[in-house]
């Protein structure tokens, strides 16, 4: 896809088809990550760690789809929710809500992603995470405990789609907020990527086969970073998008390193499927032509309490609780200054689903032939 108008027609083609779920490839989705894919874990973790509910427990979070706060950092569905829908699976239940050992809730998926979690924990030099002690290592350890209860764990791993990330964003975000220089923060990128690839390798050893690994968003377009670095020199902003160029370059640096390391895993394990989800290019295309995708506000949060980007670092969406959404959340890209609206998540999910389905033919015996044939019809090769 070379220009946004063909992307547009392509996305709409996918939107109409995603409504018919593709069943039969995966029996469950297992998700690791942070707030980008948290479906309710941080409510449990926050109460355990601080005795307080997080801001996502309050309205208007959840206002467009669930019509109540669910713990999602969004007005509606996340990318992971749209993927579950597309694959004919239920929304992923948050692991830490049911960790009393009941596994029947997790038959078709389980979510370990925790809002605020990092890829690195505070024992890594220079890393301090004020929002939670949970890190990717803890999430993977929880999964291993969960697997211990299952006699069919090999089969479960083999037939699951593992979504690894997005994770690491909080390590960078806190470092920037703590005043670390871009050079210092760049030094965290190799260990963050290493933590992601180590987790993937660990799960491959246990028997996992299919991974979806999202890259980073263009953080220079995010209201939280735009507010943090508000008043930067004019030449640091992209004149077309209003995003901070050096921060987007930082996201690209993370993504390049991640892709390089994923390629190494593919070479070492040719029998696995490791699909990179290009969140960066997908969302950047929207920033370049927002009108074409129905967006009016790209850099201002829908849910906020004022300021140039409608974002205030000390007053997150939900504090104080508001009864209502902003007018027409689907015309905003940013929900709360950090996370995207459901409208953006839907577009990302369409592209990610397409990426996933295009690599599925290399999955030996995982998807029935009938499913593959159906997919070929829905996604003709010429569309790419």
User: Between 58 and 97, how does the x/- string for binding to ligand NAG read (CB under 6 A)?
Assistant: ----------------------------------------
- In whole angstroms, the minimum distance from the beta carbon of 339 to ligand NAG comes to 19
Question: Among 19, 306, 323, 369, which residue interacts with ligand NAG (rule: CB under 6 A)?
Answer: 306
102 binds ligand NAG (CB under 6 A): yes
The yes or no reply on residue 140 touching ligand NAG (CB under 6 A) is no
Q: Residue 139 or 297: which CB sits closer to ligand NAG?
A: 139
| Per annotation, catalytic residue among 31, 35, 42, 135 | 35
114: contact with ligand NAG by CB under 6 A: no
Q: Which is nearer to ligand NAG, 199 or 330 (CB)?
A: 199
Instruction: Kindly tell me which of 25 and 119 has the beta carbon lying closer to ligand NAG.
Output: 119
**Nearest-approach distance from CB 304 to ligand NAG, in angstroms:** 9
The distance from CA 43 to its chain's CA centroid, rounded to whole angstroms, is 18
Asked about 152 being catalytic, the answer comes back as: no
In angstroms, the CA 35 to CA 245 distance is 24
CB 27 within 8 A of CB 159: yes
Catalytic residue status for 339: yes
Whether 123 sits among the annotated catalytic residues: the reply is no
Whether 259 and 280 have beta carbons less than 8 Å apart is answered as no
Site for ligand NAG contains 49 (CB under 6 A): yes
Stretch 245-284: interaction string toward ligand NAG, x if CB under 6 A: ----------------------------------------
Q: Verify binding: residue 317, ligand NAG, rule CB under 6 A.
A: no
Decide if residue 231 touches ligand NAG (CB under 6 A). Answer: no
Q: Find, among 55, 23, 94, 117, the residue nearest to 318 by Cα.
A: 55
Q: Least CB distance from residue 162 to ligand NAG, whole Å? A: 19
CA-nearest of 41, 37, 33, 91 to 339 is 37
Which residues of this protein are in contact with ligand NAG, per CB under 6 A? 49, 98, 100, 102, 121, 123, 132-133, 137, 195, 306-307, 312, 314-315
Q: Which residues are catalytic?
A: 35, 336, 339
């Amino acid at each position: 896809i070379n220009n946004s108008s063909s992307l547009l027609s392509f996305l709409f083609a996918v939107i109409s088809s995603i409504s018919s779920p593709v069943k039969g490839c995966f029996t469950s989705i297992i998700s690791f990550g942070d707030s980008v894919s948290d479906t309710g874990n941080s409510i449990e973790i926050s109460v355990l760690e601080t005795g307080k509910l997080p801001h996502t427990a309050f309205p208007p979070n959840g206002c467009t789809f669930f019509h109540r706060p669910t713990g999602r950092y969004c007005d509606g569905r996340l990318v992971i929710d749209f993927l579950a829908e597309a694959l004919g699976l239920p929304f992923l239940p948050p692991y830490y809500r049911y960790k009393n050992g009941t596994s029947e809730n997790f038959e078709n998926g389980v979510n370990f992603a925790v809002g605020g979690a990092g890829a690195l924990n505070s024992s890594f030099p220079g890393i301090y995470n004020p929002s939670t002690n949970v890190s990717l290592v803890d999430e993977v350890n929880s999964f291993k405990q969960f697997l211990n209860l299952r006699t069919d764990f090999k089969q479960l791993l083999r037939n699951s789609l593992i979504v690894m990330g997005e994770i690491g964003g909080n390590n960078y975000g806190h470092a920037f907020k703590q005043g670390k220089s871009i050079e210092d923060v760049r030094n965290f990128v190799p260990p963050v990527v290493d933590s992601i690839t180590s987790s993937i390798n660990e799960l491959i050893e246990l028997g996992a086969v299919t991974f979806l690994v999202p890259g980073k968003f263009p953080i220079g377009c995010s209201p939280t970073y735009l507010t943090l670095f508000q008043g930067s020199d004019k030449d640091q902003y992209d004149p077309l998008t209003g995003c901070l160029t050096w921060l987007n370059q930082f996201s690209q640096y993370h993504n390049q390193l991640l892709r390089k390391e994923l390629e190494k895993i593919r070479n070492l394990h040719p029998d696995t499927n490791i699909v990179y989800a290009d969140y960066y290019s997908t969302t950047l295309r929207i920033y370049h032509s927002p009108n074409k995708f129905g967006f009016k506000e790209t850099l201002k949060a829908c849910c906020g309490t004022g300021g140039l980007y409608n974002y205030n670092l000390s007053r997150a969406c939900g504090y104080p609780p508001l009864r209502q959404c902003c007018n027409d959340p689907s015309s905003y890209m940013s929900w709360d200054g950090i996370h995207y609206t459901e409208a953006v998540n839907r577009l990302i999910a369409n592209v990610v689903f397409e990426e996933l389905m295009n690599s599925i033919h290399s999955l030996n015996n995982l998807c029935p032939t009938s499913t593959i044939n159906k997919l070929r019809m829905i996604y003709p090769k010429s569309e790419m």
